[in-house]
Structure 1
Amino acid sequence: MNSLVLALIAFFGYIVAYKTYGSWLAKKIFKLSDKNPVPSKEFYDGVDYVPTKRHILLGHHFTTIAGTGPIVGPAIGVIWGWLPAFLWVVLGPIFAGAVHDFTSLVMSSRHGGQTIGELSRKLISNRVGVIFLILIQFLLWLVLAVFAMIMGLLFDMYPESVLSIWMQIPIAIWIGYMVYKKGKKDTLYSIIGLILLYVFAIVGIFLPIRLPQLGPVSPIVLWIVILLIYSYFASVLPVTTLLQPRDYINSHELLVLMGVLFAGILVARPAIVAPAFQVAKGAPSLWPTLFIIIACGAISGFHSLASSGTTVKQLENEKDAQFVGYGGMLLEGALSVLVILAVTAGLGMYGKGTAGYFQYYSEWATTAGAGLAAQLKAIVEGAANLMKAIGIPELLGRTLMAVFIVSFAGTTLDSATRIQRFALEELVRTKSGKPWGPFKNRYFSTFVVVALAFGLAMSSPDGKGALKLWPVFGALNQLLAALALLIGTVYLAKKKINPLPTLLPAVFMLTTTIVATIQNIVTYASQNNYLLVFIAGSTLVIAFWMVFESLLSIAKSVKLETVYQEEFKKTGIPTTESESRVC
């Protein structure tokens, strides 16, 4: 199979899906309207709630959801062969991931910008909402601690990328000032910022930055401290100061990189050297494992937190939800397709053939078990080979890829800090509707979030403490996606709208994650890791609990509607109470 053919099939499929299925969801299912109020205008504060042009918001949303997930996940997923991974990142976003992101965004917009956790409290029950918000806190707690560690590891692996990454901050602040204070054109200045980013990437090759070992404190731990301090300040600043302009630059970086990789495929047209199906030594079963490992490239629960966390508070027009929510997920799927082609075709270029691929994918232990460094090396090498086909030197290609990966990990890090702060404030909300006590202050709430992440990271002296809990993250993240779709199903059912677009992927993801979690519990028990057994078992209970309460909620709303209809037949007087309770 030729890589160019697969790329064209995927990209054409995404475009058709956006124009047909995405438009059908927007117009017929959710009935988007520019007359509906949006939180960014209702609660405008210049800090978190800021109406934003849709192309800028797409940049922010995409760079928030696209951390290392759509890169590392697909690169591991091809261990079962290129075909299962390819089909999942093409069909998954269209019928599951994009529906999930889009639904979360619309529901949140119509409920005052509340997070998916708070929505579960309103749409299902208070009990479910509290448990769900705690689940979200746990997941984001892991994300912050692990992503800080990952970025520290990447900085240590690719010191050439450090200068460019940190120079993004003053560049982004300058662009934000010029665009929002001086009224300059955002596209022009973002392109200038992108050019500067690449200039510093080239300079970084000659000026790599490494942190020293300070006694028992490793460079990775030093980076964790620096990155969490950065996350604190970045997440309390107004979104127009740093978050939006930086993410807009990164979105342009993404488009350039995807264009460069596609150009390499177009020029070289490398053949796929990986088998279509593969039974690698030591690899677990394809189902459910593939659908847990490849998350962000197909569907990810973290996306519902981004959609209902930061993105919704910047949505300028409800009709933009299709472009940002549905379109953003398809764009992430396109990135995952290019990653799959980079490792299944790019690794075989320049005479390496199948040996280039099997160097990384001969057995499970050398793929998923070899750690992040080995996984990233396969991606970077395959991508550098594609870039080399259009004349980009190999060292520069590796540096550009490293800058890209670290940039996206960074945007996820500080956006996740802001999202966790929102969710924490909702969790401790009193009956008055406001956060309890000191949590009214965003500086205090953010400090608590960052301090907890630092504590988890430093539960191991090397800064990798969160890795003790990380094995439960994959299934937990996909469970969150299933539950977000379930909440969407309840929302549509109560509105008397066809719930199948959310129900079908919800059933598939629930079944998949429940089976995966049961398998994990058996594995953890055999390893006598009772902490992970407890966490996995608790999430399983939460899943069944939410399904049960969701069904009760739907049944109750149907029963109420029947009662009001019978009352209307008897009296001929319509009631608005029915609508308020059901909707």
Structure 2
Amino acid sequence: MVTFLGAIVLLVLGYVFYSKFVERVFVIDNDTSTPAYTKRDNLDFVPMSWWKGNLIQLLNIAGLGPIYGAVAGALYGPSAFIWIVVGCIFAGGVHDYFSGMLSMRHGGAQFPSLVGRYLGNSVRAFINLLSLVLMLLVAAAFTAGPAQLISQLTPLTFMTALAVIFTYFLLATILPVNKVIGKIYPVLGGILLFMAISIGIALLFFDRPIPNLTLSNLHPGELPLWPLLMVTISCGAISGFHSTQSPIIARTMKKESDGRKIFYGAMVIEGIIALIWAAAGMTFFNGTAGLQEALAAGGPSGVVNEISTSLLGTLGGILAILGVIILPITTGDTALRSSRMILAEYLSKFFNMENKGRLLLITFLLAAPTFYLSTIDYTFLWRYVGWTNQVVASVMLWTGAVYLMKHNKFHWICGVPAMFMTAVVCTYIFYAPEGLGMDYTLSMIIGSILTLFVLIWYVVQIVRYRKLHKKGGLKAA
């Protein structure tokens, strides 16, 4: 229990102190009007208060991510606590802050546009495609589960439930951000928080102690902790999907100082939620072996339902149903909204995207493959979400690092976690079954070599920008 409570305290301290340091490195300016005012269109660019932005951002980036991922990551034991705390403070919080603030600084630009500006158009073309694939996979994966549960609890068939959900998706995607998302999401964000806090308090009085820190890998299947844990628990530590969601709220910010509360703050709250559910997974089933059996029997939704109803009674059952149905749907609709915004931004080079009919057509074109993907195996989809998600996270951190180098600022706050995540994905892609499925030792060797090449590139960029600043070719900002 000491480890669990200490981890929560560290996350809070990380927000209080490290987020302020990150903000000072970035340098905010409240005298400059934000895109919410300069580009107001009453669709995507609409001013909203920071607390609404924080709750909407939390729901956009979280959904069931910090619940399902944390429960699966709990199979590794209390080592999951370390990753959530360190990942959230030094990687995820920084990642989310820069993805939101750089978008705001560049007129509400989408993630691929930021990548192209700082890493080049070839990387932008790759990340455009990867971001769209990631968001369609997320939307599909987070729709199939709720539709299945609705079909079990109501007279509706699976396909009918799916059609109802996608009808809502289309409305949420094309209506102004303050009409549906701005009104409903703060309430749903509050439900997500209430659910996690209730479980956390109940755990403190549970008849089994929350495990304390051990550096041993307790995974019953003897899966290696590196790099699998860093991909299994993404929401709650660092998730590339967040960088596709941040521009939604970046377009609604009233002032730059709201960014720390919205982006870094939502990430820390998500980290606390992940800590609570990781602790619940380890504790409730009397160890990782019991958790593995529960996951095999009922999947993550069954585990969440059993924990909630047992610890919180009828209230827990209601919250579990609300969570398993509503929360993933709210992630799916903003995933589609972001993909619509990314594709519209790309097509704006060729067409006038202020045309409402074209925006509607784009939405339908994106919804169609997502609807199809929702009808296939959920676990198959989720396997590919993991590694694409963390590749996107690595690219966003490198974007932030180059931005800081270009402006002669302390680039290490993005560069160090970017190197770490690069090492994770370079190894994971070769080892994981959804990757190349190679031998673990060989995957480690190849991953290390590729990471070394990226490190050399990083050093070259550092030297290059230092020379440019000395020659006066670039101005510090």
Fold shared per TM-score above 0.5: yes
| Offset, 1:344 | 2.0
Structure 1 position 237, deviation (Å):
0.6
String of CA shifts for 1:93-134, please: whole Å, max 9, x gaps: 111111110111111111111012101111221222122111
**What one-letter code is carried by the residue in structure 1 that aligns with 2:155?**
R
| Secondary structure class of the residue paired with 1:143 | helix
Write the mapping of 1:116-155 to structure 2, written as runs, cut at 5 A. 116-155=111-150
In 2, the alpha carbon distance for the partners of 1:399 and 1:444 equals 37
1:152-174 CA distances to partner (integer Å, 9 max, x unpaired)? Answer: 123245x2xxxxxxxxxxxxxxx
Deviation (angstroms), 1:67: 1.8
User: Residue 93 of structure 2 is aligned with which of 87, 92, 98?
Assistant: 98
Equivalents in 2 of 1:380, 1:274: separation in Å? Answer: 25
Q: Is the 8 A contact 1:124 1:549 kept in 2?
A: no
Q: Does 1:346 align with 2:284?
A: yes
Q: Which residue of 1 aligns with 2:252?
A: 314
**From 396, 410, 413, the counterpart of 2:332:** 413
Matched, 1:358 2:289: yes
CA distance in 1: counterparts of 2:193 and 2:316, whole angstroms: 15
Give the residue type in structure 2 aligned to 1:23: K
How many angstroms apart in 1 are the aligned matches of 2:110 and 2:7?
Answer: 32
Q: Deviations over 1:497-530 (max 9, x none)?
A: 011111111111110111000113796568xxxx
Structure 2 unaligned runs (5+)? 439-447
For residue 237 of structure 2, what is the aligned residue in structure 1? 298
Q: Distance in 2 between matches of 1:439 and 1:87?
A: 47
Q: How far is 1:279 from its partner?
A: 4.2
SS at match of 2:342: helix
Superposed, 1:495-574 pairs within 5 Å as 495-520=407-432, 524=436, 557-564=465-472
Q: What SS is found at the alignment partner of 1:246? A: helix
The structure 1 residue matched to 2:401, chosen from 484, 489, 504, is 489
For the pair 1:404 / 2:323, whether they are aligned, the reply is: yes
Deviations 1:249-276 (A, max 9, x none): 0122123223322332344474136994
2:224 aligns with 285
| Structure 1 segment 34-113 matched on structure 2, within 5 A | 34-81=30-77, 83-113=78-108
Distance in 1 separating the partners of 2:18 and 2:245 = 22
Structure 2: distance between partners of 1:233 and 1:402: 23
Letter in 1 for 2:185: D
| Rounded Cα–Cα distance in structure 1 between residues aligned with 2:435 and 2:99 | 33
Cα distance between partner residues in 2 of 1:396 and 1:152? 22
Residue in structure 2 matched with residue 324 of structure 1 by the alignment = 262
Aligned residue in 1 for 2:22:
25
Instruction: Identify if the C-alpha distance between structure 1 residues 403 and 44 changes in structure 2 by more than 3 Å, giving closer, same or farther.
Output: same
Match in the other structure for 1:447: 364
Query: Do the aligned partners of 2:61 and 2:235 also contact (CA within 8 Å) in 1?
Result: yes
Structure 1 residues 230 and 126, CA, compared in 2 at 3 Å: closer, same or farther? Answer: same
Residue 423 (str. 1) matches residue 419 (str. 2): no
Task: Give the structure 2 partner of residue 271 of structure 1.
Answer: 209
Q: Tell whether the 8 Å contact from 1:67 to 1:412 is kept in structure 2 after alignment.
A: yes
* Structure 1: runs of 5 or more not aligned: 160-208, 212-218, 349-353, 388-393, 458-462, 527-539, 566-577
TM-superposed deviation, 1:135: 1.1
CA distance, structure 2, for counterparts of residue 545 and residue 398 of structure 1: 50
SS of equivalent residue, structure 1 residue 49: coil
**What pairs with 1:143-222 in structure 2 (closer than 5 Å)?**
143-156=138-151, 159=153, 209-211=154-156, 219-222=157-160
The alpha carbon displacement at 1:15 in A equals: 1.9
C-alpha distance after superposition, 1:517-570 (max 9, x if no partner): 0113796568xxxxxxxxxxxxx9x999998887776665444444446xxxxx
> TM-score normalised to the size of structure 1?
0.74
Aligned-partner residue type, residue 29 of structure 1:
V
Q: Once structures 1 and 2 are overlaid, which stretch shifts more, 471-480 or 146-155?
A: 146-155
Q: 1:127 to 1:546 in 2, by over 3 A?
A: farther
2: CA distance between counterparts of 1:235 and 1:72? 25
Distance, in Å, in 2 between the alignment partners of 1:136 and 1:546 is 21
**1:405 Cα deviation after fit:** 3.2
CA separation in 2, counterparts of 1:513 and 1:424?
26
Aligned counterparts of 1:39 and 1:299: Cα–Cα separation in 2 = 26
Render the CA deviation track for 1:183-231: whole Å, top value 9, x for unaligned: xxxxxxxxxxxxxxxxxxxxxxxxxx231xxxxxxx2232222212210
User: Contact 2:61/2:242 (CA < 8 Å) preserved in 1?
Assistant: yes
Q: Which residue type is aligned with residue 394 of structure 2?
A: A
Preserved CA contact (<8 Å) 2:301 2:324: no
C-alpha distance 274-553 of structure 1, shift in aligned 2 (>3 A):
closer
Structure 2 SS opposite 1:241: coil
Whichever residue aligns with residue 398 of structure 1, its letter is: G
1:226 corresponds in structure 2 to 164
**Counterpart for residue 301 of structure 2:** 376
Equivalent pair of 1:346/1:385 in contact (CA under 8 Å): no
Partner of 2:273: 335
Amino acid at match of 1:112: G
Shift of 1:436: 7.1
- Cα distance in 2, alignment partners of residues 97 and 470 from structure 1: 20
Tell me if structure 1 keeps the 8 A contact 2:75–2:220: no
Q: Which residue of 1 aligns with 2:441?
A: none
Once residues 46 and 354 of structure 2 are traced to their aligned partners in structure 1, the CA distance between those partners, rounded to angstroms, is 25
Rounded to whole Å, the distance in 2 between the matches of 1:344 and 1:111 is 43
The answer to whether the 8 A contact 1:97-1:329 is kept is yes
Shift of the 306–557 alpha-carbon distance from structure 1 to 2, 3 Å rule, reads same
CA shift, 1:466, in A, is 6.8
How many residues get paired?
Answer: 469
Letter in 2 for 1:410: I
Amino acid at match of 1:210: P
State the identity %.
26
Residues 54 and 316 in structure 1, CA contact (< 8 A), matched pair in contact too:
yes
Distance 1:422 1:477, change over 3 A: same
Q: Which has the larger radius of gyration?
A: 1
CA–CA distance in structure 1, aligned partners of residues 217 and 465 of structure 2: 48
Counterparts in 2 of 1:42 and 1:333: CA distance versus 1, 3 Å: same
Which 10-residue stretch deviates more, 489-498 or 267-276?
267-276
Pairwise CA distance, 1:37: 2.6
Deviations along 1:431-451, one digit per CA (max 9) or x if unpaired, are 7xx667979832111111111
| Kept after mapping to 2: 8 A contact 1:93/1:299 | yes
How far apart are the structure 1 equivalents of 2:433 and 2:451?
15
What secondary structure sits across from 1:314 in the alignment? Answer: coil
Contact 1:299 1:481 (C-alpha < 8 Å) held by counterparts: yes
Q: Which residue of 1 aligns with 2:444?
A: none
Aligned-pair Cα RMSD in Å? 3.1
Q: Is the 8 Å Cα contact of residues 274 and 344 (structure 1) preserved in structure 2? A: no
1:475-508 CA deviation, whole Å, 9 max, x = no partner?
1101111110010000000000011111111111
Aligned-partner residue type, residue 133 of structure 2: F
**Corresponding position of 1:385:** 310
Aligned to 2:442: none
Give me the whole-angstrom Cα distance separating, in 1, the residues matched to 2:191 and 2:435.
Answer: 41
